[in-house]
Copies of this chain bind each other. A is one copy, B any other.
Amino acid sequence: MSDAAVSPAVPEDEAALATPFVKCLVRLIRAQDCHGSWEGKRDAELLGDFIITKEQRRAIPIIGDPDPDVLWRLDKFYAAVGLAIEERCGLMASPMMEMSHEGFGRVLFTAGRLVVLSKTLRDVHRFGFETFWKLAAAGTKLVGDAIAAIDAYPEVARA
């Protein structure tokens, strides 16, 4: 966890943490805290491991197998995308993920008969974002793309 991640001093970080997408992500992570051990932690601390600085990224081998922790974060990230889609349009978008052990794969969200989102996954072992803002922007963009697809084919999404 980088220092910048633990203490978000910049207003941009505060704004990122206030986006609906990041709030969904935090909610999902806190839901895993069965024993209340994260209650004293701030959101920025909980999300710290999602942040990988340029230096940290350079230190990760180009090819590598994703470890369980990074897979957990990837899972939470896409679950938050699904939750944020539901929050915005009331339709449940269920995710489906397919991945090789090397971290290549695909994630698909469907609502009714509509593929609301389809994304290729690669370099999953290096999954992370440079800043909170980039994390928020990436999630928010996926949610926006899904909403646009639902708006384009509303009857298919409800079929």
Contacts and interface: CB of A to CB of B under 8 A. Distances in A.
A108 to B, nearest CB: 6
A96 B121 CA distance: 14
Copies in the complex: 2
Nearest to A106: B96
Given A96-B98, A98-B96, A153-B156, A118 B114 contact: no
Interface in A101-159: 106, 108, 110, 112-115, 118, 149, 153, 156, 159
A94 to B, nearest CB: 9
Contacts of A114: 113-115, 156
A97 interface: yes
Contact of A149 (B108, B110, B113, B115): B113
A103 to B, nearest CB: 17
Given A113-B156, A115-B115, A153-B159, 17 more contacts: A96-B96, A96-B98, A96-B106, A98-B98, A108-B108, A108-B110, A110-B110, A110-B115, A110-B118, A112-B115, A113-B114, A113-B115, A113-B149, A114-B114, A114-B156, A153-B156, A156-B156
* A-B pairs with lowest CB-CB distance, top 5: A113-B115, A110-B115, A156-B156, A96-B98, A153-B156
